[in-house]
Each structure stands twice: as C-alpha cells, then as structure tokens.
Amino acid sequence: MLQSLRHLLTRLGVITSRPWAFAVVSGYGLLWWSFDRASLDWHGFATLATWLMTLLIQRAEHRDTQGIHAKLDELLHADRHANNRLTKLDSEEPEVIEQHRERARRGD
C-alpha cells in the first residue's frame, strides 16, 4: 500500500510538470470566473497565481533534473568501466535511489 502511494506521488509530480497542467489551472480559473464572479476577488487571483507559479517551478525543476540525468547517462555510457545499470536508476522510487546512494557511500 505504502509503495503504491509513493509511486502515485512520484507520478503526480511528473504529471504536474507537463504543459497541459497550466491549461487545467487556467481552465479552472475561467470556470471560476464564469460561475462565481463574486468570489473571484484578489484572494482568488492570488490563489490562481500561486498554483501557476507552483507549476512553473515544478516544470523548471523537472527540466533541470531531466537534463542532469541525460548528461550523467551519457557520461556513464562513455566510460567503459562504468556500471551501466546506473542509467536506469532514475526510474526507481526515490527511497530505492537513496538506499543505493547510501550503499555507494559505505562502499558496499
């Protein structure tokens, strides 16, 4: 159960980094404006701006992470002594990656 929740949260983070997530929040704002204009005051605009900024930050973080992974994968493939299994480590859950890093630090 806990493993599937962790996987779901990881997938949710990746999903929110997609461009269509901005369209969903914008669509929500348009629906809010269409159906309840009275409650869409400056608090409402602040809420929508916060959601959009959160998505923007998430997207930038995802882009940076993917770029770093691509560079590291290329370096691992270029070094014939490198362990190529590491190129697939980013598809694991964060806890598994942390365990791998801890084992590597200990020298296991």
Please tell me the distance from the alpha carbon of residue 28 to that of residue 40, in angstroms, as a whole number: 12
Per-residue pLDDT of the chain (108 residues; tens, 9 = 90+): 777 887 787 778 778 878 888 899 999 999 999 998 888 899 999 999 999 999 889 888 888 888 888 888 888 878 877 777 777 787 777 778 888 888 878 876
Please answer whether residues 93 and 3 qualify as being in contact, where contact means their C-beta atoms are separated by less than 8 angstroms. Answer: yes
pTM of this structure: 0.67
Q: How far apart are the first and last CA of the chain?
A: 29
Question: 85 is written with which tokens?
Answer: 């299994």
DSSP assignment string, 62-83: HHHHHHHHHHHHHHHHH-TTS-
Please tell me the distance from the alpha carbon of residue 96 to that of residue 11, in angstroms, as a whole number: 15
* Owning domain of residue 7: 2-106
DSSP assignment string, 1-46: -HHHHHHHHHHHHHHTTSTHHHHHHHHHHHHHHHH-GGG-SHHHHH
